[in-house]
Amino acid sequence: MKISKHNFILLFLLYISSSSQVFAQSAFPLESIISLSDDLSEQVIAWRRDFHQNPELSNREYRTAGIIAEHLQSLGMEVTTGVAHTGVVGILKGGKPGPVVLLRADMDGLPVLERNELPFKSEARGEYNGEDVPVMHACGHDTHVAILMAVAELLAELRDDLPGTVKFVFQPAEEGAPKGEEGGAELMVEQGVLDNPPVDAAFALHVSATQEAGNIGYASGPRYASVDDFKITVHGKQAHGASPWMGIDSVVVSAQIINALQTIVSRNLELTEQPGIVTVGSIHGGVRSNIIPEKVEMVGTIRALDTDMRKQIHQRVRDISEGIAQSMGATVTVEIPYSVSYPVTINDSLLTRKMVPVLETVAGPDQVRELKPITGAEDFSYIANEVPGFYISLGGKPPGKPIEEVAAHHTPDFYIDESGFDVGVKALAAMAWEYLATHGSE
């Protein structure tokens, strides 16, 4: 469709007018947030580089937590440490009465060997499930911590006019606690992070290596899938490989189970509603080519973007495994979850609708995009299950870099461009203030 020059000018003036109204009507102090964020931009990068060079594994974030706690205390906050092992919570009370908003950042790194040649490259090592491993911030949690530390300083500077309370939550073990330990957002919630004072709404962000630096992405409703790992143990009868009729072949039973599990998504789920995933990632059994093993173990992951579908998948995994094993004379043990279990991360639809204009104001309308849900998982879901939550993504892809050249999260070459960090600081600060200012009388 062609637009005449006259109509183009009218449309442009209408856009400027509507944008001005958004700025004029906004409850948060835009100029102050932008100015203070700009002042902190170099410090955010310095913090992030320090954390990147000194990553720590889940439930072992001692150094990181110490730096955070010292910073929050220097801002005059009420600070609690040791929450859910190494978590830090800081409470900023504004000069005016109002609701309570929670802002959250995760702190842990991953057992990944970094391949990037950066001046602040990680060469750290740690212990993971009894093994000595390399450690890297291969998912951007170093960035999340640095951004939230800056938001804390920014809002503390404006505390006299802040209409309510902000609870800054620095969370350990988002990637999952070590085997045999509790941790993460689930444990923080159990230990009362949403209480004293009670939280009214929660916000968080996650950097994205595939999203242009400085862009903000969001979704209303399901944003991240639930995750449940599972372990299936098939018990057969050991036999000589040359005489399979004398045993019950746990390997063949396992193969049948793996194939049948793939029919859950393709034949049992109503895929026009939401997707689902069942993946077997590891299978172990036997020690020799000529011995049919008595036992085979499989582990895998289940993802769902709908709570009912999640339950349906769990039941079908059990039914299929047990049915096939019984039909072939074997027995089976199914453990769901085996060690990791996060609910679906759902963005509150009303909160999303109210906050999108805020994001467009601080980042620019052309920098804010609605995205499809993804099948990655996030334990912010434990918080968003209890109070209205809004979880956004912040772009970290170098401008102009082809998407096919971008390294995925959780890989040795994972890389985040630092140019958009200030957008994340402004977004979290503005959303917190907007909520407090517009919900004070509710």
Residue-wise pLDDT tens digits, 203-219:
999 999 999 999 999 99
Is residue 273 part of the annotated active site? The answer reads no
DSSP bridge partners of 78: 91
Residue 13 has pLDDT above 60, yes or no: no
Catalytic entry in 342, 382, 391, 415: 342
| Phi, psi dihedral angles at 130 (to 5 degrees) | 85, 0
In total, the chain counts a number of residues equal to 442
Domain boundaries defined on the chain? 5-219+371-439, 225-341
| Topology match between the domains 5-219+371-439 and 225-341 | no
* Answer CATH for 5-219+371-439 from 3.40.630.10, 1.10.10.10, 3.40.50.150, 3.40.50.2300: 3.40.630.10
Residue 4 has pLDDT above 70, yes or no: no
pLDDT attached to residue 7: 47
Cα 122 to Cα 132: distance, rounded to the nearest angstrom: 15
End-to-end distance of the chain based on CA atoms, in angstroms? 46
Distances (CA, A) of 15 to 5, 18, 26, 141, 370: 15, 5, 16, 37, 20
| Phi, psi dihedral angles at 198 (to 5 degrees) | -65, 135
CA dihedral (113, 118, 122, 123) in degrees, to 10, reads 80
Tokens of residue 76, six digits: 């005059």
pLDDT tens for 415-428 read 999 999 999 999 99
Is residue 418 part of the annotated active site? The answer reads yes
CATH of domain 225-341: 3.30.70.360
Residues 433, 47, 408: CA angle, nearest 5 degrees:
90
Chain mean position to CA 121: 23
pLDDT attached to residue 21: 42
Catalytic entry in 157, 297, 322, 418: 418
pLDDT attached to residue 129: 85
What is the mean predicted confidence (pLDDT) over 358-380?
A: 96
What is the mean predicted confidence (pLDDT) over 133-150?
A: 98
pLDDT attached to residue 440: 77
